[in-house]
Amino acid sequence: MNKTIQQQINNHLVSPIASISALKADHHAKVYHLTLHNQSLVIAKIDPRFFKQAITSPCPIVNEATMLRYLAKTTTLPVPTVLHAERGLILMTCLAGDHRITLKNDADLAKYLIMLHQHTHPDYGFDMDTVIGGLWQDNRPQTSWVDFFIHARLMAMAQKATAEKQLPIKTLACLEKNLALIASKLKEPAQPSLIHGDLWPGNILCGPNTITGFIDPALYYADREFELAYLAYFGPLSENFWQLYQQEHPLDDDFFNRRLPVYQLYPLLVSVILLQGQYLPLFQQALNAIIEP
């Protein structure tokens, strides 16, 4: 971090920066761990494409700040407190924890997801577009979840993957040809539920026995089952987690056998784009398993 940016950040802090450590970059943004002279810990995320630049395109960091404030106001999820936000810069409190979901803390995870998914809305989507892995998601409201998922998520990401030459045109055509079959495996939920939208272990902060924070949201109102399928894509969840979640929201066998595989096509497509096609064979295999009798 250069001295000019450091001084600009200092202007928004209650205590000057004592030390700076660079963390893993978040796609286009640079991320820093700041220790202040008063021993407070702050996370600074800077996107040089936007910070102090005269461009007007949507800024992911502004959206992130808006979503964190929305979660803090609307829910009881532990999220970082936004200290300052402007185009290309967000300063927020640093929450403790690692990213290890265990049998000792997954009960807390189930509790928080039950609470989050209880927040409802008349429509699917959100009042602004959001970003997942640096990829924009269309959140224009729709009244049908199946239509929203098929067109604003599955096909939109597949078309993006093809445009970036990560998904072959013939695979896109196969997906498009079988949309009606894929849609038939889904169902309309009773109501839209608020979801984190990018829920994987890297965005969950864990303590030994509790969940200490949720970061990098990509909010929208959706089928709550989609969030569970998305999380399970990154690794199996314990029987304890499933039992606790289902005490509030029971899941039928069709979720595990029909809807979960369809929903996991979406994070597979995101992986295809972000990892330059390394996941393409897995996506094609998953798609074939869904469409073949």
Say how far apart CA 107 and CA 245 lie, in whole Å: 8
106 is known as an active-site residue? no
In contact, 28 and 90? CB cutoff 8 Å: no
The H-assigned helical ranges of 24-78 are 60-74
Burial (0-12, 13-18, 19+ Cβ within 10 Å), 263:
buried
**Strand spans (E) along 119-274:** 130-132, 135-137, 193-195, 204-206, 211-214, 220-222
In contact, 195 and 221? CB cutoff 8 Å: yes
Say how far apart CA 106 and CA 200 lie, in whole Å: 13
Write the Ramachandran bin of 282: left for phi over 0, alpha for psi from -120 to 50, otherwise beta: alpha
Catalytic residue among 106, 108, 198, 223: 198
Instruction: Return the half-sphere exposure (C-beta side, CA atoms, 13 A cut-off) of residue 11.
Output: 8
In contact, 117 and 227? CB cutoff 8 Å: yes
Which residues are catalytic, by number?
Answer: 198
